[in-house]
Structure 1
Amino acid sequence: METTSVYADRKSLYIDGAWVEPATDARAENFDSNDEQSIGSYSLAGREEIDRAVAAARATLNDRDGWAGYSPFQRAAVMRRFADALERRRDELGEWVAREVGTPIERSKFSNADTASALLRFYADIIEHTDLEDLRPAGRGHSLVRREAIGVVAMIAPWNFPMSTLFFKLAPALAAGCTAVIKPASLTALNSFVIAEAAIEAEVPAGVINIVPCDRTTGDHLLTHPGIDKIAFTGSTEVGRKVGRICGENLKPVTLELGGKSAALLLEDANVDRLVTELHDLSFSNNGQACTNNSRLIVPDNIYDDVLAAVAEEVRGWRVGHSMDPETVIGPVVSPGHRASIERYYEIAAAEGGRVLVGGEPIRDRGYFVQPSVFADVTPEMTIFQEELFGPAISITRYSGDVEEGIRIANDSNYGLSGAVFTEDETLGIETSRRIETGTVQFNLANFDIGAPFGGRKDSGVGYELGAEALLAYLHFKTIFTPSVPAGF
């Protein structure tokens, strides 16, 4: 576990279907989150490479002999080849993310390479069964309603799930006939070069996918580029507001998947054993580095002490270790800066009156490790209740057991991404779930489904990804008024 088996020194960028040398010598270096050793370096795109990538994406989008001329069935065939190529790189991609992000290895493979290939196949199937034109009777004649690709999409992926969140965007966009200019997160850019190799093997047409790792200044050039038709962004709420302002000023459509501070609401008859069984995936997924984690537990008086004891025992027993060790439950976090941020939140939580049940102290071993932590007696005015830590910690808040009070506390957040309800009363559970102000709610389980729409409310974002509905985010509608029925209808 101590040696690094992946290493890369990438000098070229994937633009217009080929590896190209950048015009500048700017480079970045990434590190293994387990041991702080370098795992590689890569070239950074400058403004010239951004312009080149956007131009390539635009050219094939407009070329009837290129991507623009592909039928939905031809696009689906390309997507399935791409999925095959990613599956052949499953172990390599899984290890890159395990080392860059700290995600335990088997979860890394599933949440990244497996999810990416599944999304490609899912949207390939959908586009083959989607009518891109339909004819409707009108007051005079008919309306021919067309669905057309929205255009060149700038895709900005986060570091926590660098592949799956990218393919939340890329898979439906390819199905719709769009082209992409992709900015991977700097902390996890090395895995994106393997994605490019898979695209080459799959013979994805030149210009359809372009990958341009870059610094923040160059990234701003991509955001404001006149050749971009839409922006799809996953990241922090702070940066999402900036992206939203830019899109508003330039009248460009945008999808924003942002932060979360989700709450799991337990009702008085909640099954504590069921909660504990689901706890890791519900609240600690990816070492806490998941925007959908339910990092607040809202617990009624009658089972409060039982929940504290059960949760503390469960979390205390988790193995914290190297992300490549299959026995690891909690791996390291992504960077020293992120580790410091989480530890600072731990200090604030204790200072404001949160009772530490588990963890709460720094780990000073080599690597970016943080103790999984549980804080009890947290009240809604505390920082740990309101702000997203993005680390392996939960806060537990007591309430009387009145369902109305529980719903009010759960909804006391600027965020609205995910949530959960636990009760043995199915009717009450579903009705309570309907009243949680979030885009998704998990009833008596921890789950995530690529076949259902995913998105946030309030400060958690704008628009939706996943499900058949996500295809609409990458399509324009055009209506052609015609006096008679066109041929073929």
Structure 2
Amino acid sequence: MPLLPQGVTIANPESLFIGGRWVRAHSGRLIELVSPDTEQVVARVAEADEADMDAAVAAARDAFDNGPWQTTPPAERIATFRRMVTHLEGRVPELARAWSAQMGGLASFAGPMHAGGVAALHQIAGFAEAFAFVEQRPTHAAAAALIAHEPVGVVAAIAPWNGPFGIMANKVAYALLTGCTVIMKPSPETPLEAYIIAEAAEAAGIPAGVVNLVTGHREASDHLVCNEGIDKVSFTGSTLAGKRIATVCAGRMARCTLELGGKSAAILRDDFAIDHAAKLLTGTITLMSGQVCAMLSRVIVPRHRHDELAAAIATEMKQVRIGHSDDPTAQLGPVAMKRQLERIEGYIEEGRRTATLVSGGQRPSHLNVGYFIEPTLFANVDNSSRIAQEEIFGPVLSLIPADDEEDAIRLANSSAYGLNGSVLTHDAQAAYRIGRRIRTGGFGQNGLRMDFGLPFGGFKQSGIGREGGPEGLLPYLESKTMLLDGVPEAL
């Protein structure tokens, strides 16, 4: 019997989904998935090698070039996709359990998170219903001008381990609704959600080769990106990997959408109470154990309020309940894997040398097994230091003192990243004024605010392009201008 987490039912975890069939991996190897709670193996899935990646590209290429999907009327594609979403609605409990088992996400959060993720897919279908895939424009060059928005082709969808379902499902949604074919390449640490998506596509009657699934490590994934049969790469992950993908795609003018790292700042204004700020910032940095690309991990605070805020956050952090993902009282679970824990600890050691450790910084004494770390606060952080400039991806918060509002804006923008930002203030006009000056793709008043029904992406090294909202359709489309001697009967 295949090894799977309790409550998760996947028919063929030790196979790949290529060309509409479940097939054994060419490598014959399996990937073991380790629980961050217990450090025990909880599942095994097939490991794809370079030959499997090529087979998946060939299947997706044939399905796009010769199959019916790209020429299927948008209304029919949308109806088929909605059947796929209906299948996923019935599997929300499995998706939630899979996420907790693989990543250690709190079970108390997993259910609402995945229910919301599935509901968002219906919203994306609504965007496609309202989109004009062919539109008429005025012209002086011909009797009629048409702009046809056509699918870009074969898409490699590469998702990270922190939000594996929502991120992958959104990529698949936009690809399918625009008429593309897609190859899912999930993170080797969290592939189970992609198996459920593949089963949903199969159950909905998506044509063979339109949706494919390959699970592999870095070398095989790089081989996938390098395959000339890939027309577009949609990638969410590290900036380092994103730069590699951008370089490869540039070599053949392939399209790419890159949602990469962040080191986002929250600016505290004088009208916002210290105790309120402390609760908000502590609750934010512990969300998903700090493993959120848009995380507010830098706090830029007026110098005269710095020490008071540091003391208040330390008090809040000491009250955070750390526990296993299935503990209903836990507010902070483990980080996703051993190497991530070791990475966080390395940054904490760096912070000890360059800033003031106010709270945390240790593995909790009551949890001897699992990848747990205390919520950690550094004060008097130099904005040019590594802990202020590099993405830690853990529950580590840095307080950076600023002389005034202009200095705070300068510090917020002094980063290679530009994904998200916030200002803590009760003045909406001030929030708008400051937000317009922060060089980020997203900005929220009073905390980490995200709505994936709206465009999401970053400036600078936080990526290229946008996902989410009606705008999320555009990166999966090519625009064709047609100048005709008359208007066709049916557009």
Same fold (TM over 0.5): yes
Code of the residue aligned with 1:124 in structure 2: it is A
Give the 5 Å matches for 1:393-472. Answer: 393-400=396-403, 402-472=404-474
In structure 1, the partner of 2:127 is 126
Code of the residue aligned with 1:204 in structure 2: it is I
Unaligned 5+ residue runs, structure 2?
Answer: none
Using the size of structure 2 for normalisation, the TM-score is 0.94
Select which of 361, 376, 379 maps to 2:379: 376
Task: Give CA-to-partner distance per residue, 1:420-453, whole Å, 9 cap, x none.
Answer: 1112222112101111111101112332101211
Task: Give CA-to-partner distance per residue, 1:305-359, whole Å, 9 cap, x none.
Answer: 332232222221111110112221111111111111101111110111x222220
* Alpha carbons 2:282, 2:316 under 8 Å: kept: no
SS of 1:10's equivalent?
coil
CA-CA distance at 1:91 after TM superposition:
1.2
In structure 1, the partner of 2:363 is 362
Task: Give CA-to-partner distance per residue, 1:37-90, whole Å, 9 cap, x none.
Answer: 1111121112332222222222222346x3123221111112222222112111
CA-CA distance at 1:479 after TM superposition:
1.0
Give the 5 Å matches for 1:31-430. Answer: 31-63=34-66, 66-111=68-113, 113-141=114-142, 142-280=144-282, 282-352=284-354, 354-363=355-364, 365-400=368-403, 402-430=404-432
Q: State the alpha-carbon separation in 1 of the partners of residues 58 and 245 from structure 2.
A: 21
1:12 aligns with 2:15: yes
Q: State the alpha-carbon separation in 1 of the partners of residues 463 and 326 from structure 2.
A: 33
Q: State the alpha-carbon separation in 1 of the partners of residues 339 and 171 from structure 2.
A: 28
CA-CA distance at 1:383 after TM superposition:
1.6
CA-CA distance at 1:301 after TM superposition:
2.9
1:29 aligns with 2:65: no
* Larger mean Cα displacement after TM superposition, 303-312 or 325-334: 303-312
SS of 1:370's equivalent?
coil
Q: Give the direction of change, closer, same or farther, for the CA distance of 1:304–1:164 in structure 2 (3 Å limit).
A: same
Q: State the alpha-carbon separation in 2 of the partners of residues 202 and 273 from structure 1.
A: 50
Q: State the alpha-carbon separation in 1 of the partners of residues 111 and 488 from structure 2.
A: 49
CA-CA distance at 1:281 after TM superposition:
5.3
CA-CA distance at 1:167 after TM superposition:
2.3
* Alpha carbons 2:5, 2:43 under 8 Å: kept: no
Q: State the alpha-carbon separation in 2 of the partners of residues 427 and 153 from structure 1.
A: 41
* Alpha carbons 2:48, 2:220 under 8 Å: kept: yes
Code of the residue aligned with 2:37 in structure 1: it is N
SS of 2:261's equivalent?
coil
Q: State the alpha-carbon separation in 2 of the partners of residues 321 and 362 from structure 1.
A: 12
Q: Give the direction of change, closer, same or farther, for the CA distance of 1:81–1:106 in structure 2 (3 Å limit).
A: farther
Task: Give CA-to-partner distance per residue, 1:97-133, whole Å, 9 cap, x none.
Answer: 112111111322333x324322321121111111111
Q: State the alpha-carbon separation in 2 of the partners of residues 463 and 394 from structure 1.
A: 28
Unaligned 5+ residue runs, structure 1?
Answer: none
* Larger mean Cα displacement after TM superposition, 74-83 or 251-260: 74-83
Cα RMSD, aligned residues only = 1.9
Using the size of structure 1 for normalisation, the TM-score is 0.94
CA-CA distance at 1:26 after TM superposition:
1.9
Q: Alignment identity in percent? A: 38
CA-CA distance at 1:192 after TM superposition:
2.3
Q: Give the direction of change, closer, same or farther, for the CA distance of 1:279–1:203 in structure 2 (3 Å limit).
A: farther
